[in-house]
Structure 1
Amino acid sequence: MMNKTTQLRKDHKKITLQKLIIASVLIGFSAAFLAVSLKKLTEHYEEILFHKANANWLLFLIFPFFGLSIIYFLREYLFKKKENKGIKEIFESTGSPTKRLPGYKIPSHFFNGLLTVIFGGSTGIEVSTVVASAAIGSVAQKKENVFKRHKTELVCAGIAAGITALFNSPIAGILFSFEVISRKISRFYLITIAIAVSVSYGFILLLDEKPLFEVAITTWYLKAFPYFILLGLLAGVNSVYLTKCVIYIKSKFAEIEKHTTKIIIGSLIISFSLLLLPQLYGEGYHAVKEIFFNAENITLTYSFGLTVLGILLLKPIITSVTLASGGDGGVFAPSMFLGAFLGLLLAVILNTFFKADVIPINFMVIGMAATLSASIHAPFTALFLICGLINDYTLFVPILVVCLISKTTAQLIYPYTVYSYQPKN
C-alpha cells in the first residue's frame, strides 16, 4: 500500500512538472509576442502622432483628452467597468489563494497602455506589459487543477518573459520577478522562469530586435566615482519626489466622484504641460534618444538649464496626473527619462563649473539605472535592465554601486514605492 501511494505521488509530481514545462513554453511565447507587439505599435504610432502635434500645437490640446476618453469608454463598455491598478493587481493576486488576474486584463492593459502613451500620456508601456504578461500566467494557472499551488510561479513566468522581450534582457526579467514580485524561490519557480525567459529571449533573437538606445560607451574613469556617488544621492531624492507625487495626486483625484471631471482636469494639465515642454509627450524616449545623440555637444546655457529643471519638476507631476485621470502605465519609463536628464544636467554642471571632464553619456546611462533602482527598490533589476537596453556592460561596476546608493537613499527618505504604499483608511 505504501509503495503504491509513493508511486502515485511520484507520478503526480511528474505529470505536474510536465504540464508546468508545457505551460511555461506557451506563457513565454505569448508574453514575448504581446510585449514586442505592444512595443512596436507604441513606437510606431507615438512617433507619428508626436510629429503631427509638433507641427500643429492644437493637437497637444486634443490628444490627451481623446486618449483618456477612449480608455474610459473601453473600460465602461468592454472591460467590466473595472479600473486597472497596475502592479498592485499582481500583489493582490499572488498574495491571495482565491484572487486571480482575469483574462480580460490582457487586452485591457494592452490597449489602455497603447492609447495612453500614443496620445501623449506621460508614462510608459512597461507596467501595462508586466500586468498583461502576469495575466497570461494567471489564465494558464486557472486552466489546470494541478497548477493550483503554482500560481505565483506561472504569474512570475509571464512577467519575466514580458520584461525579457521588452528590454532585451533575460537577467532583468528574472530579477524583476524575484526582487519586486515573488521574493522567494522554489524548484518549480526556477524551472518555470528559466523556460519562459529562454523562450522569450529566443523569440526576440529570432526577430533580431535591436537595443532601444544606440549608445556608444567607450570607457569610464575612477576619478569620476565621487561624482557617480553624488548622482546616486540625487537620483534617490528625485525618485522619492516621483513616488510622493504619484501617491499624493492619485489620492486627490480619488476624491473626485465623476470620472468625466477627472478626464477634463487631467487632460488639461497634460495638454498645457506638453505645450510648455513637448519632451514630456508619451514615454519620452524620443527626447532621450535626441540628447544621447547630442550629449557631447551640449553646453550649459540659461535655456538648457531651465528646460531640464522644468522637466525634472514637471515630469513626476504630469506622470501622476496621467495615471490618476485614468491612463494606464507606471513609473518605469518616467524613472528612466528623469534619470537621463538628471545625469546629463549634473555632467554639464560639473564640466562647466568644476572642470571635471566627465563623460555626459555615462552620467545619462547611470542616472537612468539609478533613478529606476530607487523608484522600484530593485537595484539589480535596474542594473541589468539598463545594460540590456543599451546592449553594453562597460558601466556595470559604477551602475551597480550607484543603484545601491540611490535605492538606499530613497529608502532612508521614504520607505515606500508606488507599488508597496498602502493608503491609510
Structure 2
Amino acid sequence: MKTKRKKYLLTAWKKLIIASILIGFLSGALSISLKHITEHFEASLFEKTLINKIYFLVFPLVGFSVIFFLRQYLFKRKENKGIKEVFETTQSRKNLSTYKIPSHFVNGLITVGFGGSTGIEVSTVVSTAAIGNIAHKKERFLKKYKTELICAGIAAGITALFYSPLAGILFSYEVISKKISKSFLAATILSVTIAYMLVLVLDEAPLFMVSVPLWKWQALPYFIVLGIVAGINSVYLTKCVLFIKKQFIKLQKQYYKILAGSLCLSIALFILPQLYGDGYHAIKENLNSANSILLTLPFAMMILSIIITKPIITSITLGAGGDGGVFAPSIFIGAFLGLLIALLANTFLHADIIPLNFMIIGMAAMLSACIHAPLTALFLVCGVVDSYTLFFPLLIVCYVAKITSKMICPYNVYTYKENITNAC
C-alpha cells in the first residue's frame, strides 16, 4: 500500500514538473507576443491621432464595437470578468474555459490599441491562468494541483511581461494563492525559470530603460508622504471603477454603453492624449526628462488633470466593455503622482530631491495600494527599470501605501463583494 502511494506521488510530481515547464514556455510566449503586438498596434494608431485628432473620435467607437461583436458571435456571448474569474476558479470547482485564452488576448489587444485607457496585464493574467487550468483538466495526476498550475501560468506571464521572475512568483502568492506549499513553489519556480530563459534568449528589454541615480536620505520623509498620498489615491481609483461600472450595468442596451463609453473616452483623449492606451508612452517621455522639468502652472494643472481623470476614463473603458484592469492605470497614475510631489517639494520647499526617483517609487506605491501586494509591486518596478538602487525606499513606501489604502478601505477591485458591510 505504501509502495503504491509512493509511486503515485512520484508520478504526480513528475507530471507536475513537466506541466510546469510547458506552462512556463507557453505562458511566457503568449505574454511576450501580446506585449509586442499591442505595443506595435497601439504606437501605430496613436501616431495617426497625432497627425489628425479626428481619430480620437473614431478609434474608441471602433474598438468597443469590434469587442462587442467578437463576444456576441465568437466568444459565447460572455463578458470577461478579469482577475475575479481566476479567484472564482481557484476557490471553487469552476474551470477557466479554453476560449478565455483567445478572448482575453484579442480583446486586450483591441482595447488598448484603439485607445482604451487600461492595459494588457489583466488580459495576460487570465490568459495564462487558463493555460495552467487546461493542464489541470487534461491529466488525472494533476487534479489536486489546480491552483498551483494556474499560479504557474500567471507567474510565467508576469515574468515575461515585466522582466522580473520574483514579481511573477510574488503576484501569484500575494494576490492569487495567498498560501505557500512545496507544490506551489516547485510549479511557480519552474515556470518562471522557463519564462525568464525565454525573455533572455529573445533579448527582451525592460519596459523603461533609465539610469536610476542614488537616492538621498533626506528624501525619505517625502517618500513616505508619497506613499500616503498614493494610498489615498488608490481608494479613489477603486471607488471610481466600482461606481462607474455599476452605472454602466444600468444601461441595458449594449450599444448605449458603447456610445456613452466611446464618447467620454474620445473627449478625454482629445484633451489629454497622454491617457491613450496604457499610457506607457507618456511615462517614458517624462522619465527621460523628469530631472530637467521646471514646475509651471500649466504643467502642474496638466499632471493634476491626468491624475484625476485617469481613474474615471479607466472605469468608463471597463464599463463600456473594454478588457483590462487597474494594473497599468495604477502604474501610470503613480508615475505622475510621484513627479508632481517631487516638483512641488523642490519648488516650494527647496527639497532638492530627484524627480526621476519619485516617478519610479510612485509607480510601485500606487500598484501596491491598488492590489494590496507590496512585495509584488516592489520587485515588479525594480524589474521594469532593471535596477535595485531604490530597493530600500521602495520597500518602505510600498508598505506605507498599502497600509494607508487598507485603513481607508478594506477591499480593492479584486476583492470587493456586494455584501461587504464595512464599505469605505
TM bucket, shorter chain: over 0.9
Distance in 2 between residues matched to 1:283 and 1:99, nearest whole Å: 31
Distance in 2 between residues matched to 1:302 and 1:222, nearest whole Å: 29
Aligned position for 1:355: 350
- For residue 54 of structure 1, report the CA deviation from its aligned partner: 1.4
Distance in 2 between residues matched to 1:193 and 1:363, nearest whole Å: 32
TM-score, length-scaled by structure 1:
0.98
Distance in 1 between residues matched to 2:209 and 2:165, nearest whole Å: 19
Aligned position for 2:84: 88
In the alignment, which of 16, 22, 44 is matched to residue 20 of structure 1? 16
Do structure 1's residue 374 and structure 2's residue 336 form an aligned pair?
Answer: no
Distance in 2 between residues matched to 1:297 and 1:384, nearest whole Å: 27
Do structure 1's residue 229 and structure 2's residue 209 form an aligned pair?
Answer: no
Trace 1:11-50 onto structure 2 (pairs within 5 A): 11-50=7-46
**3-state SS of paired residue (2:81):** coil
Aligned position for 1:343: 338
**3-state SS of paired residue (1:317):** helix
Distance in 1 between residues matched to 2:100 and 2:303, nearest whole Å: 36
CA contact (8 A) 2:235 2:370 kept: yes
In the alignment, which of 66, 72, 87 is matched to residue 76 of structure 1? 72
Do structure 1's residue 123 and structure 2's residue 118 form an aligned pair?
Answer: yes
In the alignment, which of 152, 160, 175 is matched to residue 180 of structure 1? 175
**3-state SS of paired residue (1:20):** helix
Aligned position for 2:269: 274
In the alignment, which of 380, 384, 390 is matched to residue 385 of structure 1? 380
- For residue 302 of structure 1, report the CA deviation from its aligned partner: 1.3
Trace 1:230-249 onto structure 2 (pairs within 5 A): 230-249=225-244
**3-state SS of paired residue (2:143):** helix
Cα distance per residue 1:49-88 (max 9 Å; x no partner): 0010111111000000100110111111011110000000
- For residue 299 of structure 1, report the CA deviation from its aligned partner: 1.0
Distance in 2 between residues matched to 1:147 and 1:117, nearest whole Å: 35
Gaps of 5+ in 1: none
In the alignment, which of 92, 106, 114 is matched to residue 111 of structure 1? 106
4+ residue runs over 2 A deviation: none
- For residue 190 of structure 1, report the CA deviation from its aligned partner: 1.1
- For residue 424 of structure 1, report the CA deviation from its aligned partner: 3.5
Give 1:248's aligned amino acid.
F
Give 2:156's aligned amino acid.
A
**3-state SS of paired residue (1:299):** coil
- For residue 146 of structure 1, report the CA deviation from its aligned partner: 1.5
Give 1:15's aligned amino acid.
T
- For residue 185 of structure 1, report the CA deviation from its aligned partner: 1.3
CA contact (8 A) 2:213 2:357 kept: no
In the alignment, which of 362, 378, 393 is matched to residue 398 of structure 1? 393
In the alignment, which of 145, 151, 154 is matched to residue 149 of structure 2? 154
Distance in 1 between residues matched to 2:68 and 2:254, nearest whole Å: 8
**3-state SS of paired residue (2:369):** helix
In the alignment, which of 202, 205, 213 is matched to residue 207 of structure 1? 202
Distance in 2 between residues matched to 1:187 and 1:351, nearest whole Å: 49
Distance in 1 between residues matched to 2:381 and 2:189, nearest whole Å: 21
In the alignment, which of 128, 133, 140 is matched to residue 133 of structure 1? 128
- For residue 147 of structure 1, report the CA deviation from its aligned partner: 1.3
**Percent of aligned pairs with the same amino acid:** 59
Do structure 1's residue 253 and structure 2's residue 248 form an aligned pair?
Answer: yes
Distance in 1 between residues matched to 2:400 and 2:297, nearest whole Å: 30
Distance in 2 between residues matched to 1:397 and 1:363, nearest whole Å: 13
**3-state SS of paired residue (2:415):** coil
- For residue 301 of structure 1, report the CA deviation from its aligned partner: 0.8
In the alignment, which of 60, 65, 69 is matched to residue 64 of structure 1? 60
- For residue 300 of structure 1, report the CA deviation from its aligned partner: 1.1
Distance in 2 between residues matched to 1:55 and 1:365, nearest whole Å: 31
Distance in 2 between residues matched to 1:296 and 1:387, nearest whole Å: 19
**3-state SS of paired residue (2:417):** coil
Gaps of 5+ in 2: none
Aligned position for 1:144: 139
Distance in 2 between residues matched to 1:188 and 1:222, nearest whole Å: 41
**3-state SS of paired residue (2:213):** coil
Give 1:45's aligned amino acid.
F
CA contact (8 A) 2:169 2:188 kept: yes
Q: How many corresponding residue pairs?
A: 420
Cα distance per residue 1:358-392 (max 9 Å; x no partner): 00000000000000000000000000000000000
Aligned position for 2:315: 320
CA contact (8 A) 2:148 2:187 kept: yes
Distance in 1 between residues matched to 2:39 and 2:88, nearest whole Å: 31
Aligned position for 1:294: 289
Distance in 1 between residues matched to 2:83 and 2:348, nearest whole Å: 42
In the alignment, which of 415, 418, 422 is matched to residue 410 of structure 2? 415
**3-state SS of paired residue (1:208):** coil
Do structure 1's residue 263 and structure 2's residue 258 form an aligned pair?
Answer: yes
- For residue 296 of structure 1, report the CA deviation from its aligned partner: 1.4
Give 1:60's aligned amino acid.
F
TM-score, length-scaled by structure 2:
0.98
Aligned position for 1:165: 160
Distance in 2 between residues matched to 1:423 and 1:206, nearest whole Å: 46
